[in-house]
Amino acid sequence: MSALSLHRPEENTAPAVPPELLHIDCGAHTAAVEALAAKLAATAVERDKRGGTALAERALIRQSGLLTLSVPRQYGGAGEAWPLIYRIVRRLAASDSSLAHLYGFQHLQIATILLFANPEQQQRYLSGTIEHNWFWGNATNALDGNIALQAVSDAAGEHYTLDGFKTFCSGALDSDMLNVSAPRGGDPANRIILTIPSRRAGVHANEDWDAIGQRQTDSGSVRFEQVRVEADEILGPPGPGGSPRATLRPCVSQLVLTEIYNGNALGALAAARAYTLEQARPWGSSGVARAAEDPFIQQRYGELWSKYRAAVSLTESAARTLQEAWDLGDAITPQQRGAAAVAIAEARVFAARTALEVTAQIFETMGARATASRWGFDRWWRNVRTHSLHDPLDYKLRDIGHWLLSGEPPLPSIYS
Amino acid sequence: MSALSLHRPEENTAPAVPPELLHIDCGAHTAAVEALAAKLAATAVERDKRGGTALAERALIRQSGLLTLSVPRQYGGAGEAWPLIYRIVRRLAASDSSLAHLYGFQHLQIATILLFANPEQQQRYLSGTIEHNWFWGNATNALDGNIALQAVSDAAGEHYTLDGFKTFCSGALDSDMLNVSAPRGGDPANRIILTIPSRRAGVHANEDWDAIGQRQTDSGSVRFEQVRVEADEILGPPGPGGSPRATLRPCVSQLVLTEIYNGNALGALAAARAYTLEQARPWGSSGVARAAEDPFIQQRYGELWSKYRAAVSLTESAARTLQEAWDLGDAITPQQRGAAAVAIAEARVFAARTALEVTAQIFETMGARATASRWGFDRWWRNVRTHSLHDPLDYKLRDIGHWLLSGEPPLPSIYS
Amino acid sequence: MSALSLHRPEENTAPAVPPELLHIDCGAHTAAVEALAAKLAATAVERDKRGGTALAERALIRQSGLLTLSVPRQYGGAGEAWPLIYRIVRRLAASDSSLAHLYGFQHLQIATILLFANPEQQQRYLSGTIEHNWFWGNATNALDGNIALQAVSDAAGEHYTLDGFKTFCSGALDSDMLNVSAPRGGDPANRIILTIPSRRAGVHANEDWDAIGQRQTDSGSVRFEQVRVEADEILGPPGPGGSPRATLRPCVSQLVLTEIYNGNALGALAAARAYTLEQARPWGSSGVARAAEDPFIQQRYGELWSKYRAAVSLTESAARTLQEAWDLGDAITPQQRGAAAVAIAEARVFAARTALEVTAQIFETMGARATASRWGFDRWWRNVRTHSLHDPLDYKLRDIGHWLLSGEPPLPSIYS
Amino acid sequence: MSALSLHRPEENTAPAVPPELLHIDCGAHTAAVEALAAKLAATAVERDKRGGTALAERALIRQSGLLTLSVPRQYGGAGEAWPLIYRIVRRLAASDSSLAHLYGFQHLQIATILLFANPEQQQRYLSGTIEHNWFWGNATNALDGNIALQAVSDAAGEHYTLDGFKTFCSGALDSDMLNVSAPRGGDPANRIILTIPSRRAGVHANEDWDAIGQRQTDSGSVRFEQVRVEADEILGPPGPGGSPRATLRPCVSQLVLTEIYNGNALGALAAARAYTLEQARPWGSSGVARAAEDPFIQQRYGELWSKYRAAVSLTESAARTLQEAWDLGDAITPQQRGAAAVAIAEARVFAARTALEVTAQIFETMGARATASRWGFDRWWRNVRTHSLHDPLDYKLRDIGHWLLSGEPPLPSIYS
């Protein structure tokens, strides 16, 4: 028997969260999103403790009908716009931050095909995504250095051979298709992105991700041993950086991160609210009969909720800006791309800082007994703390400040 | 000669602000808004020092064509929606916070007629507003207590007599029409709102406003000596509180305050930016040639700008919610009204806190010489500090928290 | 092989911390403290994951010669003053927050005897502590309610029988002696504190503590089944609340908490510093060769360190105030006791908030790879987050504010 | 009649502040300090509005017996230690920040003589200070550049001629003696400090200081026209930078700034407290009868007071460190000097940030009517905002962070 459950032995799982607080309008997909989120939530605390690959939950995503929403209609997809995709990421993150990350990165990989691939490749990979319901992974971390992974071409240039490894390969495990970045022939200035089936001979996704948060994103390493890559598996033209439009990829990526933060903040607030209403005791000198009537607790909810709402409003605005930039197609100018990048940077920094604050401070509304491990209330903070370090927020702020002062948008890179 | 201007004796006024930063899309009215804002900005620093009534600048507003934008088309007005009105308030506040307040409260008085007055009164006062280009003032502060102002009716109930005074009567001086609140016959539970010409015999608006900020809002006192009020000058039905729709008035009011904060934050950022670019010196150990290249200065601009943008996004979202509530007309339910009130409360608190932070921290990007009195860079903070105390933010937070926990929206009052 | 250790496979434990940063002058005991801290640090990360009772490490404390420092000289102890005891708590918490808590609560139990017990009891229990090197535990949580534990006396009043349970009994497991609180005969206003050997028949300390932080404090439950308590095991006179001096107990307790926060902040800063120097990579666009030269990283260390130093200065000042109050003996007035309580409340709130901030923000100085679970860098935050909820900080702030406004110190209670 | 005073027409000055809150133990000088502070407080609000030179109040300082406390006993002075001097600065700043600055800078000039002057000069200037009760000013700003002021020597090197100007010459007006810095012969690397009577022919202190805060520090410009300086008026050896000990001057200076911040925070809290108790109205929905019973107001006082207390504790600790460094005399090593500089930098940054927060947030405890100009409650913030820009706090933080990471203390300069 647990000391912390003595008074309520029946309460050994997280309290049910009032659904309305979590409700996010996802249009025609709302019911499917809610159903998936509910299934993920049911085991999220336990799986956070366990870590590792969430095979069953990845299967739930595959079965949800939501995996391919961003594939354009011409390839048989639903052609949903980015603001909707991001709302789904947020909603799923409020239940399960790791799986929401994998879901968001699925669409980042689809965006990668749309932005980097030539028409023939788009047809092949996007139709395939619809036909086979592919779950995509990535091995595109740019910080592993030149020696980590090499793409060496044969004399005729007809195929390449991959040798080496990559780290932070979110979603590679249990994936069907894999986007990979590598310097061509060891030249760091000549970075290519290529697409291969994840089960191709020589590709070894390792079960070695063990971080303090985002524990089921499988963001571990992939080892490549003499992996053959055909010439037409190298994405492009345009490939990465080949056009202003192609540089939208980090914009898509950064907003996935942003909505992970927002989703964790929302999930934390919803879980805390349920606890405050169902479990928390009024403090002795508060003079109130229920914790929910405590003026300091109400004040803190007001403060955290207002900040969360500001973060969501800013993110939604940035998502609309991204969609406008996306819809410009090849006509997009560097200045228009820069405006979107700045809007997204603003949202990312603000949402990250807000989510760190919200997920840390929810405890003040619940009290000491809420630190019992079985509630898993610290996972929200651990998720945000882990994910917000993806690339330094201070440099995002510098980019924004430099733009404000000079009018020069951030240089397109893998992070900005 | 001023010590602080020794090196740049020609720079004795605030540096020109790059217009693009301040640009806010006000639709068809953008040019008129920009022209008015520029004229107000030209003398804002000097008038902040002087205080008192800004007769010439009130005349500029009268001549701008912007005074009556919210009057519905059926009365000859432009029938502009609230989100546009608020954007204009924000833009004007970035140049002159006091005049922006008077402009915003003009539309609050028009809303008062729309919400409280009967059809005949609406026709009379709104058509009159268009015909005579009336500038409205108010004497509706609820905190003066019962004894401050009395409305006594004659035996036949055909007219009333006002005796007493009101404080915080923003815009009463130099106004044409005046909305006044009073307890009927000394009954605090029976509060009426009435409309009279500001120049009616016995109405004395005093030049006694002298606060640390918002120095030209004329928010001083009005004394009423045996002022005759006709029965049909009492607004209603429905009057205040007579319908859920009528309770939207504080929502309109609170968003005016909110945009005053946002406008001051924007004005402060724009003024600081110009100073950083044109006046600030790089710090000795920074290793950069220009202050604008200082990483800490860029970082701070990034931080302040991101927060400002979050405040504006949240406020724009709240303004859309208000408009939706407004458009429901008499069909609005208390719950729908409550949702709007909560959204607006979130925006008000967040924008106030953000503007306090922004207007205080701009100095870090400019350095010691920017404290010279002639720049007037402290006026942004003084304006926000003054205006954000209108009603306590902590109680707004409690309202939001209580709603989050209980689902009960704030009780409609003059402040919520 | 771990993805996160690919580049530095040899680095699979926390980096060695430069000792000078952690150095705290503990007078003649410095060497013993440092030796104990080093031994605790060696396994702290692993034990944080494991949780449960730290039998080996409790043995280390027993063997350190530091267990009984606060026992007055007249009973054979070292008679060390509170400021020194607290410095040791801080230093140990920088290595192992759970064991530091048990060490601090050891001295709280000794203080309990000194404040509540009659001379004969003091002689018995304090001499016994020196003679047997007793490790003390407690079962004194006041929030379990009346029904949780009952002390029923026999007809003659010669002994009592304990039945029921207590929660949050830090240090009861593996303890030698136990202080227990209970309402006498079910009367909540008649709370007694009694002292019994932990191994007395019917006392069952449960291994049921499993919280997100402070994972080896054994703050689980104790069940009492027909436990016989002799009349002279009831502490007093004065007992709890029997004299102004007796009300110093929560002051002693609150400063233990405070130094736990400070110690975690220090430990986090020292661990992060070592990582920044030894592991962190410079960010691509930083233009510096080493992370330690990054201006934003330096700035953040400057900020976190300054706040930590402020917290320690305030806490040291509060500890001196406590010692002065302690030295007044029975002559202490309620006002003098109140002044000490306010000074301690200030330190507790400030140190808690500071440590939450420091332990969360160290990650910004290290980067994404520092989230690898094996470093255990999140344990500092989890410890502080858990322990800072002991009693609500907002009510501490209210107490301080009420005192500032009214001159009335907080009412002595188990928390203030 | 003022609108804001309608209900309390008799209250047209700041409410009396309870003396105990402001009480700071200044040893044998406590009564003199309190008497001087009370006289300064009586007119501080009015003089803040007026600006200019506070001749009468400078006379009060001269008459207080406190002007020369830091002159060593061997020259006839009281030989008081730095911690006491700083406490007096803090106490005076709680009443009048400008005059406290002048008082603190008096002792900085005395320190300048003690640190830079040769024995004969020390005898001359320190004995003269006692004999004539000299009030010292300075013209030592380092940021005016080379061309601003030139010290040209004649062929024989027997005297120098000063030509040019200096800015930010706090306290030069109405001073008796003046410390001046200049590059010798236009060589920026060869900076000298010299001492001359303020009324020497050719010295013109201008009444041109007009900043948003610190309005009576006379920190305007001084023009030097063919001012003759004798060779033995050049301070040294050692002169500035001539010895590790000589580099303590900026340490002394930075702690003066620090205590100005602390004093303003204290003054703001004391003034707000009096207003809350005497003037503030309870908020309608608070449910309490007096503003002082409002839980949010109590909470905020608790928060602001705790932070103020942390700032003072850290500053007092830094002052002790400075005194220890000072007492080392010529034996001080660069590392010891560096430790003092870091401790002082920590205090300066923390106190500045705290005072900015405290002086801004006191308004939340008072309400809208407290913004009436006649209370002058904004002057605390304006003072701190102005003075905290003396040199950038972000670079102080970087210095601290660099030291923490590298062990290298900040390079001695005029600011560090």
Residue B361 to residue C51: CA distance in whole angstroms: 45
Structure-token pair, residue D179:
């410390």
Give the CA radius of gyration of chain B: 22
Of A21-25, B80-84, D13-17, D79-83, where does mean pLDDT reach its minimum?
A: D13-17
The per-residue pLDDT for range D319-370, each reduced to its tens digit, is 999 999 999 999 999 999 999 999 999 999 999 999 999 999 999 999 999 9
The per-residue pLDDT for range C195-243, each reduced to its tens digit, is 999 999 999 999 999 999 999 999 999 999 999 999 999 999 999 988 8
Using H for helix, E for strand and C for coil, what is the string for A290-327? Answer: CHHHCHHHHHHHHHHHHHHHHHHHHHHHHHHHHHHHHH
Res. B3 pLDDT band, cuts 50 70 90: very low
Strands A222-230 and A203-205: antiparallel
pLDDT at B154 over 90: no
Do D283 and D184 fall into the same domain?
no
Res. B17 pLDDT band, cuts 50 70 90: low
Of A234-243, B181-190, B310-319, C100-109, where does mean pLDDT reach its minimum?
A: B181-190
Does residue C14 lie in a domain region? no
Does residue B11 lie in a domain region? no
Contacts from C292-297 at CB under 8 Å and sequence distance 24+?
A: C292/D405, C292/D406, C295/B295, C295/B296, C295/D398, C296/A392, C296/A394, C296/A395, C296/A398, C296/B295, C296/B299, C297/C364, C297/C365, C297/D401, C297/D405
CA angle B223, B228, B231 (to 5 degrees): 125
Which of B360, B366, B386 comes nearest D356 by C-beta? B360
**Which of D177, D205, D233 represents a domain boundary (last residue)?**
D233
Q: By the CB < 8 Å criterion, does C1 face chain A?
A: yes
**What SS3 class is residue A158?**
coil
> What is the domain-level CATH number for residue D145?
2.40.110.10
Do B149 and B111 fall into the same domain?
no
Residue B329 burial by Cβ neighbours in a 10 Å radius (0-12, 13-18, 19+): exposed
Residue of B276, B366, B404 best to disrupt the A interface, most CBs of A under 10 A: B404
pLDDT at C117 over 60: yes
pLDDT at A313 over 60: yes
Q: List A372's β-bridge partners, or say none.
A: C211
Q: Which of residues 209-228 of A touch B (CB under 8 A)?
A: none
Neighbouring chains of C at 3+ CB pairs under 8 Å are A, B, D
Do B285 and B397 fall into the same domain?
yes
Phi, psi of A16 (to 5 degrees): -60, 135
Q: By the CB < 8 Å criterion, does B2 face chain D?
A: yes
DSSP string for residues in C299-349: HHHHHHHHHHHHHHHHHHHHHHHHHHHHHTGGG--HHHHHHHHHHHHHHHH
Structure-token pair, residue C162:
């304990």
> What is the domain-level CATH number for residue B372?
1.20.140.10
Total CB pairs under 8 A between chain A and C: 149
Residue of C212, C283, C298, C304 best to disrupt the A interface, most CBs of A under 10 A: C212
Residue D5 burial by Cβ neighbours in a 10 Å radius (0-12, 13-18, 19+): middle
Which of B276, B317, B401 comes nearest A405 by C-beta? B276
Strands D222-230 and A149-153: unpaired
Residue D174 to residue D176: CA distance in whole angstroms: 7
Q: By the CB < 8 Å criterion, does C2 face chain D?
A: no
Query: In which element (H, E) is residue C205 found?
Result: strand C203-205
**Which of A104, A136, A168 represents a domain boundary (last residue)?**
A136
Number of domains in chain A: 3
Does residue A208 lie in a domain region? yes
Greater model confidence, D257 or D156: D257
Q: Which residue of B has its CA nearest to D286?
A: B395
Residues of B within 8 A of D394 (CB-CB) are: 296, 300, 364
Does residue A12 lie in a domain region? no
pLDDT at C15 over 60: no
Strands C159-166 and C222-230: antiparallel
* pLDDT value at residue A330: 95
* pLDDT, average across residues C398-402: 97
Do D170 and D270 fall into the same domain?
no
Residue of D261, D314, D408 best to disrupt the C interface, most CBs of C under 10 A: D314
Structure-token pair, residue B128:
């009159």
Structure-token pair, residue C404:
């500032």
* pLDDT, average across residues D274-283: 96
How near does any CA of chain B get to the CA of C299, in Å? 9
Q: By the CB < 8 Å criterion, does D313 face chain C?
A: yes
Do D327 and D368 fall into the same domain?
yes
* pLDDT value at residue A17: 55
Residues of D within 8 A of A295 (CB-CB) are: 295-296
How near does any CA of chain A get to the CA of D134, in Å? 48
Neighbouring chains of D at 3+ CB pairs under 8 Å are A, B, C
* pLDDT, average across residues C305-316: 98
Residue C39 to residue C35: CA distance in whole angstroms: 6
Residue of D301, D371, D402 best to disrupt the B interface, most CBs of B under 10 A: D371
Structure-token pair, residue B246:
């009528």
How near does any CA of chain D get to the CA of A296, in Å? 8
Residues of B within 8 A of C299 (CB-CB) are: 296
Residue B98 to residue B277: CA distance in whole angstroms: 27
Q: By the CB < 8 Å criterion, does D401 face chain C?
A: yes
* pLDDT value at residue A145: 63
Structure-token pair, residue C143:
């929030």
Residue B390 to residue B386: CA distance in whole angstroms: 8
Do D142 and D191 fall into the same domain?
yes
Cis peptide before A237 (omega within 30 of 0): yes
Distance in angstroms between the alpha carbons of the first and the last residue of chain A = 51
Q: Which of B338, C213, C172, B405 is nearest to A21 (CA)?
A: B405
Are B364 and D206 within 8 A, CB to CB?
Answer: no
Do A267 and A385 fall into the same domain?
yes
Q: How many CB atoms lie within 10 A of CB B195?
A: 23
Structure-token pair, residue A216:
């089921």
* pLDDT value at residue B58: 98
Does residue B7 lie in a domain region? no
Do D25 and D123 fall into the same domain?
yes
Q: Average model confidence (pLDDT) for chain C? A: 93
* pLDDT, average across residues B328-348: 96
* pLDDT value at residue A13: 45
| Percent of chain D clearing pLDDT 90 (strictly above) | 86
Structure-token pair, residue C413:
């209670």
Give whole-number Cα distances, A384 to A101, A356, C352, D253, in Å.
Answer: 11, 6, 21, 43
* pLDDT value at residue B189: 75
* pLDDT value at residue A5: 32
Residue found under tokens 């996306």? A326
Do C159 and C282 fall into the same domain?
no
Does residue A13 lie in a domain region? no
Question: Helix, strand, coil shares of chain D as percentages rounded to 5?
Answer: 55, 10, 30
Phi, psi of D194 (to 5 degrees): -130, 160
Residue C102 to residue B64: CA distance in whole angstroms: 73
Structure-token pair, residue B341:
């009130």
Q: Which of C384, C380, C379, C313 is nearest to C353 (CA)?
A: C384
Range of the domain at A396: 245-406
Strand order in the sheet with A222-230: A149-153, A159-166, A222-230, A203-205
Which of D3, D219, D386 comes nearest B221 by C-beta? D3
pLDDT at D11 over 80: no
How near does any CA of chain A get to the CA of D337, in Å? 32
Neighbouring chains of A at 3+ CB pairs under 8 Å are B, C, D
Res. D147 pLDDT band, cuts 50 70 90: low
How near does any CA of chain A get to the CA of C30, in Å? 33
* Separation of CA A97 from chain center: 8
Residues of D within 8 A of A296 (CB-CB) are: 295, 299
Q: Where are the beta strands (DSSP E) in A170-281?
A: 177-183, 191-197, 203-205, 222-230
- Model pTM greater than 0.90? yes
How near does any CA of chain A get to the CA of D299, in Å? 9
- Contact present, D12 and D5 (Cβ < 8 Å): yes
Do D252 and D399 fall into the same domain?
yes
CA angle B293, B299, B303 (to 5 degrees): 140
Residue A160 to residue A197: CA distance in whole angstroms: 15
Residue of C279, C307, C405 best to disrupt the D interface, most CBs of D under 10 A: C405
* pLDDT value at residue B19: 63
Do D202 and D272 fall into the same domain?
no
Q: Which residue of A has its CA nearest to C142?
A: A284
The per-residue pLDDT for range C36-89, each reduced to its tens digit, is 999 999 999 999 999 999 999 999 999 999 999 999 999 999 999 999 999 999
CA atoms within 13 A on the CB side of C42: 8
Which of D21, D345, D401 comes nearest C298 by C-beta? D401
Contacts from C331-337 at CB under 8 Å and sequence distance 24+?
A: C332/C244, C332/C245, C332/C248, C333/C244, C334/C244, C334/C409, C335/C409, C336/C244, C337/C244, C337/C245, C337/C247, C337/C248, C337/C251, C337/C409, C337/C412
**Which of C85, C102, C136 represents a domain boundary (last residue)?**
C136
Q: Which residue of A has its CA nearest to B275?
A: A405
Q: How many CB atoms lie within 10 A of CB C392?
A: 22
The per-residue pLDDT for range C140-179, each reduced to its tens digit, is 988 776 568 888 888 887 899 999 999 999 999 999 999 9
Q: By the CB < 8 Å criterion, does A305 face chain C?
A: no
Residues of C within 8 A of A211 (CB-CB) are: 4, 371-373
* pLDDT value at residue D3: 37
* pLDDT, average across residues C354-374: 97
Does residue C316 lie in a domain region? yes
How near does any CA of chain D get to the CA of A306, in Å? 18
> What is the domain-level CATH number for residue C55?
1.10.540.10
Do A353 and A220 fall into the same domain?
no
Does residue D2 lie in a domain region? no
